[in-house]
Amino acid sequence: MQEAWDPTAWSSLVLGLAALAAGVGALRKPGMWQTMISEVEGSPALQFVCGMLELVMGSLIYLANPWTPSDLMTCIMKSAGGLMMFEALAILAACDIYTQMWLRSLGNFHKGWAGITTALGFVLTVLGMARFH
C-alpha cells in the first residue's frame, strides 16, 4: 500500500505547477522575467527576500526527499532542492553578478527559457501526479 504522505510526489507536483505557471506567464507576456530580475537587482530588500524564500523552499524540498538510489525521482528532487539552496546563497552573496548573468542570458533566449521552464514544469507535474496512483 502506498504511503498517505509522499513528499517526493508533493514536491514534484508543487514545484512543477509553479514552473509551469511561471513559464506560461513568461510566454504570455514577453519581457516579464527581464523586468522582474532588473527590479530584484535594484532592490537590496527584494534580493534578501528572494534569496531567503528560495533558500527556505530549496531546504524544504531537500530535507523532505530521501536519497534513495533505487527511486530516481527522490534523487532528482533532492538534487533540485540542493541546487535551489546553492542558487539562493548566490543571490544572497552576489546578487549583482548573478542577476547580470541572467539578464544577458534572458535577453537573447527569452522564449527558449520560457519554453524550457514550461516543459520542465509539465514533466514535474505529471511525474508528481503519477506517484499518487
pLDDT in tens, 2-44: 556 899 999 999 999 999 999 999 999 988 888 888 898 899 9
Tens-place pLDDT, residues 34-91? 888 889 889 999 999 999 999 999 999 999 999 999 999 999 999 999 999 999 999 9
Cα-based torsion angle of the residue sequence 30, 31, 36, 40 in order, rounded to the nearest 10 degrees: 150
- Rounded to two decimals, the pTM is 0.86
Q: Cell numbers of 75, please? A: 534523487
What confidence category does residue 1 fall into, taking pLDDT thresholds of 50, 70 and 90? Answer: very low
